[in-house]
Amino acid sequence: MKKVMTTIMGILVATLSLSASNGGNKLTVVVKNVESTTGIVSATLFNAEANWLKQGEVRKVTIDNKEVVVIEFDNVPDGTYAVSVIHDENSNGNLDTNGFGMPVESYGFSNDARGMFGPPDFEESKFEIKGNRKIEIKIR
């Protein structure tokens, strides 16, 4: 019986270790250059180029300190990801633009990626997660 319990405990520990390394990662996004405490900061995590700027996991936080805003994503599986961030000053859930389509609210992307005539593509913004990860994004 003791041998069986030891085997079961070993299998349980191995299983928990594997699941933690494949899906228990924490991604911490540190947002810098927030100019005011008005509104919210929203970060979206994308897991594929096909979803880029269309469908992702969203986190929204109020702004307590405009120097640095921290947003966390828990239980992120190992893989390739990209993040977009907006400072939604009027809390309407959108990146507001002017009549020419130019953003009037601050935004940023992982890897400090910048597009020429629009947002950067997934390739420019992507990064790997294998274990806990912390990235910084400067919004402008």
CATH code of the domain covering residue 62: 2.60.40
Instruction: State the maximum Cα–Cα separation within the chain, in Å, rounded to a whole number.
Output: 75
Q: Which of 86, 87, 63, 60 minimizes the C-alpha distance to 73? A: 60
**Residue 49: what residue type?**
E
The per-residue pLDDT for 10 is 38
The per-residue pLDDT for 66 is 80
Contact present, 47 and 79 (Cβ < 8 Å): yes
Both ends of the chain: CA-CA distance in Å?
64
The per-residue pLDDT for 65 is 83
Q: What are the average pLDDT values for consecutive 10-residue runs of the chain, which has 140 residues? A: 39 42 86 95 98 98 91 98 98 95 96 94 98 97
Query: How many structural domains are present in the chain?
Result: 1
The per-residue pLDDT for 100 is 93
The per-residue pLDDT for 5 is 35
DSSP type of residue 120 = P
H or E element: which one contains 76? strand 68-76
The per-residue pLDDT for 4 is 37
Structural domain of residue 95, as residue ranges?
A: 2-138
